[in-house]
Amino acid sequence: MSTLILSRKSVRELLKMPDVINAVEEAFRHWSEGKVVMPPKSYLILEQGDFRAMPVAVPGALGIKWVSVFTENPLRRLPTVIGTIIYNDPATGSPLAIMDATDLTAYRTGATSALASRYLARRNSSTLGIVGAGAQAYTQLLAHAEVFDLKSIRVYDYSREAAEKFAGSLNEYPLRTTSLQEAIDCDIVCTLTPSRQPFVKKEWVRPGTHINAVGADARGKQELEPSVLAAATVVVDDIVQAASAGELNMPISKGLFREEDIYATLSDVISGKKNGRNDDAAVTVFDCTGLAIEDIAVARLVYESAVSNGRYPSVDLLEA
Ligand SMILES: NC(=O)c1ccc[n+]([C@@H]2O[C@H](COP(=O)([O-])OP(=O)(O)OC[C@H]3O[C@@H](n4cnc5c(N)ncnc54)[C@H](O)[C@@H]3O)[C@@H](O)[C@H]2O)c1
């Protein structure tokens, strides 16, 4: 029995954004059809950050992601988010692959946001605002560029250096650094920071904007003023996760938003059980907390391309 070992570099060369978007969309459809086993992610809260365990089974694939979010890591030249996936054989449970999931996480998160934007943003959206020019920013841009004809991309980071480095590395896109308010003044906005203080002000959000609120993925994190949510059509990836650890967690804990105010889950919208955008003036918000179905769908793609490629190392973990 052999287990493929796939490093960050190997996984990155096997990831193709258009395939990732399709795989993630299929995973959401499977979920809405009741074909998925996925408990809410479990958190290990530490002083230096947190770990999450994300087990899941989807048709034809199963496994677990073990992922950390340590916000001081960039000072050590390490990614804030570091993940590893064990990808198992659904028939026998044996480990088919152990793969780095650092870039895989960024790809699946970008793909999920772009899918939310496909269903919730105005169809002719052409401006994208990015707040937080860290590891998640590039794949949000890449995925949105697959789905929309982007004429202008504005990036803001409270570290001017981070924003300029990001913009300078992507000359092939119509990208420029701007103020925070200008980055919010776009058709689609992606917020990608670990902030615990809301910075998206209601008066900056124009009618018709779609916001992917991605950064808040643990208790206490928050990027949008609660009044933005109160006036918006709010779609979540998972109700339990969004209410306890997503963008909604702080407004709900303070009584400024109620679970009943959530309009739909993304899987309901993708499967057609609920409508996506039907009013050009509405503000829509997707509360993206990150789901194990997204990880396993992409891990499967990576595993299958690694097998067909045939040149990646393996070990016999069950060697007796
Ligand atoms: N929802 C999901 O599925 C998902 C997936 C991956 C990461 N995340 C979360 O997204 C966030 C970003 O992750 P990352 O890997 O890009 O981190 P990162 O550390 O690589 O980048 C974060 C960037 O945000 C900037 N920043 C921090 N606070 C800011 C603020 N108030 N205003 C403007 N810029 C600010 C930092 O300078 C940095 O450049 C984290 O909170 C992470 O936990 C969520």
- Residue 306 pLDDT exceeds 90: yes
On whether both 173 and 75 belong to a single domain, the answer is: no
On whether both 112 and 96 belong to a single domain, the answer is: no
On whether both 95 and 232 belong to a single domain, the answer is: no
Taking the centre of ligand 1 as the mean of its atom positions, its distance from the CA of residue 135, in whole angstroms, is 7
Examine residue 209 and state whether it is found in any structural domain, yes or no.
yes
The per-residue pLDDT for 1 is: 79
On whether both 270 and 307 belong to a single domain, the answer is: no
* Model confidence pLDDT, tens digit, residues 18-32: 999 999 999 999 999
Q: Could you tell me if the CB of 266 is within 6 A of ligand 1?
A: no
In ligand 1, the atom with minimum distance to the C-alpha of 108 is 3
Q: Could you tell me if the CB of 27 is within 6 A of ligand 1?
A: no
Examine residue 320 and state whether it is found in any structural domain, yes or no.
no
**Atom 10 in ligand 1: residue holding the nearest Cα:** 215
* Model confidence pLDDT, tens digit, residues 36-61: 999 989 999 999 999 999 999 999 99
On whether both 120 and 139 belong to a single domain, the answer is: yes
Structural tokens at position 170? 């992507």
Please, what is the Cα angle at 117 between 113 and 121, to 5 degrees? Answer: 155
Taking the centre of ligand 1 as the mean of its atom positions, its distance from the CA of residue 82, in whole angstroms, is 13
Examine residue 54 and state whether it is found in any structural domain, yes or no.
yes
The per-residue pLDDT for 83 is: 98
Which CATH number is 302's domain given? Answer: 3.30.1780.10
- Residue 148 pLDDT exceeds 90: yes
Q: Which of 51, 80, 211, 296 for a ligand 1 pocket mutation test, highest count of atoms within 8 Å of Cβ?
A: 80
Examine residue 137 and state whether it is found in any structural domain, yes or no.
yes
| pLDDT above 70: percentage of residues in the chain | 100
On whether both 121 and 238 belong to a single domain, the answer is: yes
State phi, psi for 139 to the nearest 5 degrees: -75, -25
Non-local (6+) Cβ contacts of 162 within 8 A are 133, 134
74 secondary structure, DSSP code:
G
In ligand 1, the atom with minimum distance to the C-alpha of 163 is 39
Strands 42-46 and 3-6: unpaired
Contact criterion met (CB below 8 Å) for 33 and 59: no
* Model confidence pLDDT, tens digit, residues 182-238: 999 999 999 999 999 999 999 999 999 999 999 999 999 999 999 999 999 999 999
- Residue 177 pLDDT exceeds 90: yes
Non-local (6+) Cβ contacts of 67 within 8 A are 51, 52, 54, 81, 82, 83, 84, 101, 105
Residue 256 exposed, middle or buried by CB count within 10 Å (0-12, 13-18, 19+): middle
On whether both 140 and 21 belong to a single domain, the answer is: no
Mean pLDDT of 104-112: 98
43 secondary structure, DSSP code:
E
DSSP-derived secondary structure for 30-86: HHHTT--B-PPPEEEEETTEEEEEEEEEETTEEEEEEEEE-TTGGGGTS-SEEEEEE
On whether both 154 and 22 belong to a single domain, the answer is: no
pTM: 0.97
Q: Could you tell me if the CB of 68 is within 6 A of ligand 1?
A: no
Q: Could you tell me if the CB of 214 is within 6 A of ligand 1?
A: yes
Examine residue 25 and state whether it is found in any structural domain, yes or no.
yes
Taking the centre of ligand 1 as the mean of its atom positions, its distance from the CA of residue 49, in whole angstroms, is 13
CA dihedral 201, 204, 210, 215 (to 10 degrees): -40
Q: Could you tell me if the CB of 49 is within 6 A of ligand 1?
A: no
**What mean pLDDT is reported for the chain?**
97
On whether both 163 and 258 belong to a single domain, the answer is: yes
3-state secondary structure of 83: strand
Contact criterion met (CB below 8 Å) for 298 and 24: yes
Q: Could you tell me if the CB of 199 is within 6 A of ligand 1?
A: yes
Examine residue 250 and state whether it is found in any structural domain, yes or no.
yes
Q: Could you tell me if the CB of 318 is within 6 A of ligand 1?
A: no
Strands 210-213 and 188-191: parallel
Please, what is the Cα angle at 173 between 123 and 234, to 5 degrees? Answer: 35
Which CATH number is 179's domain given? Answer: 3.40.50.720
3-state secondary structure of 68: strand
What is the biggest distance separating any 2 CA atoms in the chain, rounded to whole angstroms?
64
The per-residue pLDDT for 40 is: 87
Mean pLDDT of 264-292: 97
Our count of domains for the chain comes to: 2
Non-local (6+) Cβ contacts of 68 within 8 A are 49, 50, 51, 52, 81, 82, 83
The per-residue pLDDT for 54 is: 98
Contact criterion met (CB below 8 Å) for 183 and 189: yes
On whether both 140 and 65 belong to a single domain, the answer is: no
Q: Could you tell me if the CB of 43 is within 6 A of ligand 1?
A: no
- Residue 255 pLDDT exceeds 90: yes
Q: Identify which of 104, 181, 169, 114 has the alpha carbon closest to the alpha carbon of residue 141.
A: 114
Distance of CA 55 to the CA centre of its chain: 17
Examine residue 97 and state whether it is found in any structural domain, yes or no.
yes
On whether both 52 and 124 belong to a single domain, the answer is: no
Taking the centre of ligand 1 as the mean of its atom positions, its distance from the CA of residue 217, in whole angstroms, is 10
On whether both 251 and 272 belong to a single domain, the answer is: yes
209: containing domain = 106-291
Examine residue 170 and state whether it is found in any structural domain, yes or no.
yes
Taking the centre of ligand 1 as the mean of its atom positions, its distance from the CA of residue 194, in whole angstroms, is 5
Query: Which residue has tokens 């990646």?
Result: 312
Residue 145 exposed, middle or buried by CB count within 10 Å (0-12, 13-18, 19+): middle
Q: Which of 8, 193, 238 for a ligand 1 pocket mutation test, highest count of atoms within 8 Å of Cβ?
A: 193
